[in-house]
Structure 1
């Protein structure tokens, strides 16, 4: 029953909404989350693969990856395992679009396909009404991140589900129109929206989204730890510099004090010498004055 219902191709305007949960779901919110996980892992990821292959012919992917290695090495969101996939050891097979997951596909689409950024630039807020390919790609990425954030609870309420689904659906349709003018992905989205899902059939999609979420949290934590470590290192370096400056200031101050004391001693010595000379001079003057007075007295 599940496979037959998933193959139905209906117009979205006539859709009554998602299934009425015929399987043993914990609740409607968990079904909503699972349906979105499958949309991201299957349809959105396949769309990203087609975008990559549209701008870079599969036969040229290896060449373009090699040309862009320095640029891609600077992308922090690619983990070591993904880098090994993009740049395998000599003798190992080169990756194809089908081997790449959503995260890597987004990085390649953004960095090596030559797609013009949307009005605010890749990774920034997207203006309403901007339906460029880059804007639609970034909307899908943002919604995928939103869905990943719900993996903690594994559920999403109906209002959030419908809002998220609508944004994803419109973005997928806009990209397909601009790239091929077809409606294959539109029909696939319609079918997934209507088909009856079971927890067992969507488990691997939920697990992939959850695994991706945990991986990205780990990468963010590692980056934060790296920043904190760098800040601590910078703090220690600055403290060492301040200590050195303080030592230099103390040394200069001590040298100044010593020189000032030498100068003070020298000045005192000079004044003491002058004082002795003045005393001798005055003594001589008084002696001469006394002699003159005595002479005047005896006369």
Structure 2
């Protein structure tokens, strides 16, 4: 039985969004790599001036709560805020400027993070459906970026296996 095209397009979108949740998990791990979890609140406070320029409203309370003794929990931080923190304070090597798209062939951690952020924004601005060709493009780009970060920074194959599992 054939799946109706609109259902398939929605399923493609949903699977890509699940892949973005893996990216969020990965960003948390990357942040922990560059900033020790015990230093996250201190590091965020040290750079609060730069972060306040890109993080607004209630999200600032996660970084600077009323009670300073409350530990900063990475699980409280969503994708876009993680990206901004990584961009502003983590000292991640990146051959291009953070405000620009990475050059083709740039396999640096920063370029991979920027690609993931770009693809996430593209996906977020769809109408909730993704055709098969777009799905293949997004999937391949996200998979490659995630695997490059994992290989270059974390080691192992936990994220690659999660991607394969989600794909099937």
User: Which structure has more helix as a fraction of its residues?
Assistant: 1
Instruction: Describe how 1:261-280 pairs up with structure 2 within 5 A.
Output: none
Report if the CA contact (8 A) 1:126-1:135 is conserved. Answer: yes
Match of 1:129 among 105, 126, 131: 105
Whether 1:175 and 2:154 are equivalent positions in the alignment is: no
1:256 is matched with: none
| 1:188-222 residue CA offsets vs partner (Å, 9 max, x unmatched) | 0010111xxxxxxxxxxxxxxxxxxxxxxxxxxxx
| C-alpha distance in 1 between matches for 2:99 and 2:37 | 26
Q: Normalising to structure 1: TM-score of the pair? A: 0.53
Cα offset for 1:69? 0.9
In structure 2, the residue corresponding to 1:80 is in which secondary structure? coil
Whether 1:161 and 2:135 are equivalent positions in the alignment is: yes
Q: Normalising to structure 2: TM-score of the pair? A: 0.93
Identify if the C-alpha distance between structure 1 residues 35 and 22 changes in structure 2 by more than 3 Å, giving closer, same or farther. Answer: farther
1:35 is matched with: 15
Structure 1 residue ranges (4+ consecutive) displaced by more than 6 angstroms after TM superposition: 21-25
Whether 1:93 and 2:70 are equivalent positions in the alignment is: yes
Cα offset for 1:65? 0.9
Identify if the C-alpha distance between structure 1 residues 22 and 38 changes in structure 2 by more than 3 Å, giving closer, same or farther. Answer: farther
Report if the CA contact (8 A) 1:56-1:113 is conserved. Answer: yes
Find the structure with the greater CA-based Rg: 1
Identify if the C-alpha distance between structure 1 residues 93 and 172 changes in structure 2 by more than 3 Å, giving closer, same or farther. Answer: same
1:289 is matched with: none
Report if the CA contact (8 A) 2:109-2:149 is conserved. Answer: yes
Cα offset for 1:114? 1.2
Identify if the C-alpha distance between structure 1 residues 89 and 189 changes in structure 2 by more than 3 Å, giving closer, same or farther. Answer: same
Instruction: Describe how 1:1-299 pairs up with structure 2 within 5 A.
Output: 26-40=6-20, 42-75=21-54, 78-90=55-67, 93-116=70-93, 118-150=94-126, 153-194=127-168
Report if the CA contact (8 A) 1:43-1:185 is conserved. Answer: yes
Cα offset for 1:110? 0.9
| C-alpha distance in 2 between matches for 1:100 and 1:113 | 15
1:215 is matched with: none
Report if the CA contact (8 A) 2:6-2:129 is conserved. Answer: no
Q: Give the RMSD, CA atoms, in angstroms.
A: 2.0
Q: Any unmatched runs of 5+ in structure 2?
A: none
